[in-house]
Chain A
Amino acid sequence: MKSPATETVRRFPILWLVAGFGLWSLTFLTLYMVLTLGCAFSWHMTDHAFGLSLQRIVLVTLALLACIANIGMIRLYRRSELHERRDTIGVAADRLNIVALFCIIFTFGPVVALSPCH
């Protein structure tokens, strides 16, 4: 992870405050787009393993990936300089990452059950 992104975050630690919810936003856009795409191409009509449609498999996988990425982000943050400082902003950034994980689960949890295209 020694990338321009890590370098930017090191120089502007304030970016950690938007990391978790940035991921939430990205997940939101991706899932909504893939859902629309899948409905347009009738992915929900296909029957793959265990009676699951391609639509369901793709959406659940993406939501799980978002959760994993968010957990990775929480861990990455806890090794950062900002977290070391443990001041208000350092703590706030940590909480925001955790809150974002909760929001990802809460917002995208319905992918496991609801009608994807009706």
Chain B
Amino acid sequence: MPARNSWIKATFLTAGGAALAGCAGPLSTLDPAGPSAGAIANLFYVMFAGSVILFVLTIGLLLATLLKPGFGKSLSPRRWIVWGGLAMPVVVLTALVIFALAMGERLIASPLASAPERVEARASQWVWTFSYPDREGAADTISVLHIPAGEPVDIVITAEDVIHSFWVPRLGGKLDAIPGHENVLRLLADQPGTYGGVCAEFCGVGHANMDFVVQAHEPEDYAATVSGAATEASQ
């Protein structure tokens, strides 16, 4: 996956996306650090390239009809509409929708043969509290979520007051924290490291400051850190 990602990215960059150069950033969706965000970034690059082509085509046709009177006059209006308005979008959209739905099916937290590590993210105004039900004795952490790197993690997202949304752009898409509901988001960090997260759903005056970080550890360090966090919290 990373190989294909960088290949597409390279093509895209050389294709002249100078405006997008420097996509890196602590919260950038185009600087993926996991397969979920990586797949979505690829989806974006594909759609972006397609959009550029379609935009150039449509506006090119517009300019041609405006600047070269008589352009396209030999083509009957019926053909204009059937080819440009029907055939082209039907083909493009059918392919795109199937591609995107297949991708979505891979990314959702459907049951796996071996159950992934489960952690809990509880949102309240304006702080994230994380707990580790799979780890006995692990204390809650505030604004810092520890996960093992290199393996999928299911994050069980709930809210205690209003709606919030859990989002770590470099790892994958967001999922809302809705009072009374439990949503499960599956993320995977390829490498150990620290990844920024924000609350993406407007939740009142503290909305902008409701950020957090995800710390991915080598699996063997993970257990130690989570229990270590218990010590930190108790101090």
| Minimum CB distance partner of A99 in chain B | B86
B94 at the interface (CB under 8 A from A): yes
Quick check: which of A9-17, A71-79, A110-118 contacts chain B, the rest being far away? A110-118
CB pair B94–A106 under 8 Å, yes or no, is: yes
Cα separation A106 to B97 with both chains bound (whole Å): 10
Number of A residues contacting the other chain (C-beta, 8 Å)?
6
CB pair A114–B109 under 8 Å, yes or no, is: no
Cα separation A114 to B105 with both chains bound (whole Å): 7
A114: chain B residues at CB < 8 Å are 101, 104-105
CB pair B108–A115 under 8 Å, yes or no, is: yes
| Minimum CB distance partner of B104 in chain A | A114
CB pair B105–A115 under 8 Å, yes or no, is: yes
Interface of A is mostly: loop
Interface 1/0 per residue, A97-114 and B, CB below 8 Å: 000000000100010011
CB pair A115–B101 under 8 Å, yes or no, is: no
B74 at the interface (CB under 8 A from A): no
| Minimum CB distance partner of A118 in chain B | B110
CB pair A115–B110 under 8 Å, yes or no, is: yes
A118: chain B residues at CB < 8 Å are 108-111
Interface range on chain B (Cβ under 8 Å from partner): under 10
| Minimum CB distance partner of A107 in chain B | B97
* Partner among B101, B109, B110, B111 whose Cβ is within 8 Å of the Cβ of A110: B101
| Minimum CB distance partner of A102 in chain B | B90
| Minimum CB distance partner of B110 in chain A | A118
Cα separation A106 to B93 with both chains bound (whole Å): 10
B110: chain A residues at CB < 8 Å are 115, 118
Interface 1/0 per residue, B69-95 and A, CB below 8 Å: 000000000000000000000000010
B105: chain A residues at CB < 8 Å are 113-115
Report the minimum CB–CB distance from B107 to chain A (whole Å).
11
B109: chain A residues at CB < 8 Å are 118
A115: chain B residues at CB < 8 Å are 105, 108, 110
| Minimum CB distance partner of B94 in chain A | A106
Cα separation A91 to B110 with both chains bound (whole Å): 46
Cα separation A41 to B196 with both chains bound (whole Å): 38
Report the minimum CB–CB distance from A76 to chain B (whole Å).
25
Report the minimum CB–CB distance from A45 to chain B (whole Å).
11
Report the minimum CB–CB distance from B216 to chain A (whole Å).
24
Give chain B interface residues in 98-142, CB to chain A under 8 Å: 101, 104-105, 108-111
| Minimum CB distance partner of B93 in chain A | A106
Report the minimum CB–CB distance from B90 to chain A (whole Å).
8
Cα separation A115 to B110 with both chains bound (whole Å): 8
Cα separation A118 to B110 with both chains bound (whole Å): 6
Give chain A interface residues in 68-103, CB to chain B under 8 Å: none
12 other A-B residue contacts (CB within 8 Å) besides A114-B101, A115-B105 = A106-B94, A106-B97, A110-B101, A113-B105, A114-B104, A114-B105, A115-B108, A115-B110, A118-B108, A118-B109, A118-B110, A118-B111
14 contacts between A and B (CB under 8 A): A106-B94, A106-B97, A110-B101, A113-B105, A114-B101, A114-B104, A114-B105, A115-B105, A115-B108, A115-B110, A118-B108, A118-B109, A118-B110, A118-B111
Q: When A and B form their complex, which 8 residue pairs have the shortest distance between CB atoms, in order from nearest?
A: A118-B110, A118-B108, A115-B110, A114-B105, A110-B101, A115-B108, A114-B101, A115-B105
